[in-house]
Amino acid sequence: MNICLNDKIFETLSEVVTEQKTEAYVIGGYVRDCLLKREHRGKDIDIVVIGSGIEIARKVARRLDPSIKVSVFRNFGTAMFRYNEYEIEFVGARKESYDRNSRKPVVENGTLDDDQKRRDFTINALAISLNGKTYGEFLDPFNGLNDLKNKLIRTPMDPDKTFSDDPLRMMRAVRFATQLSFTIDEKTFNSITINAERIKIVSEERIVNELNKIIMCDHPSRGFVLLEKLGLLSHIFPELNNMKGIEKQEGKAHKDNFHHSIKVLDNISKKTDDLWLRWAALLHDIAKPVTKKYSTENGWSFHGHEFIGAKMIPDIFRRLKLPLNEKMKYVQKMVDLHLRPIVLSQEIVTDSAVRRLLYEAGDDIDDLMILCEADITSKNKERKSKHLENFGLVRKKLKEIEEKDAVRNFQPPVDGDEIISTFGIRAGKEVGIIKNAIREAILDGIIPNEHKAAREIMIKKGVEMGLKPLKE
């Protein structure tokens, strides 16, 4: 397996551990990805040491480059440093035991065999020796190489114990199956369904970290289908789980909004690596279950789901421990506006409607258009082609209006200070009313986005309100 050890760092590692008369092995993801020949594989290297991982880390770093800073985490018995494009983590071989009601293991020093047994999946228990006499020797006690060939996710030990010990491993099974396009082994799959409720003892931070990795996969829908089939989705993301299913009345049925949403997520993943735009795709219809109504005249409707959905975002982000900052506000905005370009594409596009969309979307208008195009999931090729053609017209109109009227991130040409000084009034609601009148006149195309025309509207509106300019 020397093909995986074609970097100076591994030779240096071997020299140090041989001199120190200890043992060390490359283990886990680096070995797995090397064997899979993953072009975009990570540059994280995990080294397991029989003895003190911290001591070996320091000696290796010193030999590679004396200026390297080694980060030590004594509570976990680990050390880490960066070298070139790699992030190398050292840990002493250990064995773990768990109490059923705790996520935290009791850790003891162990052998390589102990360390491989504690790994989550056989494909992550693969190891390569860095020791002088056995350098490059491949160690595969659980037939992980066979699982790689058969594209299987399987636990090295009894899956019930594996998942009961650390329930996050159930999420990791889904993540690896999604990232690698693997299948979860039947026994492992069944064990997850039995232990699914155990996911509740895992922190939201750890869960959402895995969710984000699933969302960033090439085909994230695979992960969400698995989460649903395994019974995990209802525990970690009830709002998304509630979108499942098709209801029919009087022979009329609506589409399955869960499968539609994850299809939109797949569509947008072909266009962007922006995590938050992908989140917006996943959540764009999140309020459909709570806004769903049926009438004989109109069939199924989800009136206001974009507005209600935007209001749901802060609670979802708060519960999942996602950032409550501009990232959340961005997702909110995308959810709130996602129907606007669709409406424009189905009607005669007026300059006024386009100005308003540009004003409200600002610099996020391009992302919004990407989301709307991803939202077309019709299997009817003719209908899909027509929708995309209409969106092309909307994009053209957006460009024309932006070049002509410059309303993206629009700031009125007359500000509050000018209104206050013109009428000799204090800051208050009158100023807001006048500013609003100017903005509406510009967005409606009544006046151009220029100071002189805006000032005339200011004077006119102020006089209507009973205000008198101090000077004409």
pLDDT of the residue at 2: 61
**Quick check: 41 pLDDT over 60?**
no
- Mean pLDDT of all residues in 381-389: 81
Mean pLDDT of 319-323: 96
For 2-150, the fitting CATH number among 3.40.50.300, 3.40.50.10490, 2.60.40.10, 3.30.460.10 is: 3.30.460.10
The more confident residue out of 134 and 382 is 134
Mean pLDDT of 174-186: 97
pLDDT digits (tens, 9 = 90+) for 47-73: 999 988 899 999 999 999 999 999 999
- CA end-to-end span of the chain: 86
pLDDT at 242: 96
pLDDT value at 343 more than 90:
no
Mean pLDDT, residues 8-26 taken together: 92
pLDDT at 99: 57
What is the rounded CA–CA span in Å between residue 442 and residue 245? 45
Mean pLDDT, range 294-317, rounded to an integer: 93
CA distance readout (Å), 404 to 170, 177, 277, 350, 400: 54, 50, 28, 14, 6
pLDDT at 400: 82
pLDDT at 150 over 70: yes
Ranges of each domain in the chain: 2-150, 416-464
Q: What pLDDT sits at residue 318?
A: 97
Locate 113 and state its tokens.
Answer: 């065999």
Closest CA to 261 of 288, 232, 291: 288
Residue 104: the pLDDT is 62
Position 42 pLDDT exceeds 60: no
Scan for tokens 């072909």, then name that residue: 270
82 pLDDT above the threshold of 60:
yes
For the entire predicted model, the pTM comes to 0.87
The answer to whether residues 191 and 160 touch, using CB atoms and an 8 Å cutoff, is: yes
Alpha carbon of residue 43 to chain centroid: 21
pLDDT given at position 205: 97
304-306-311-316 Cα dihedral, nearest 10 degrees: 130
Mean pLDDT of the chain: 90
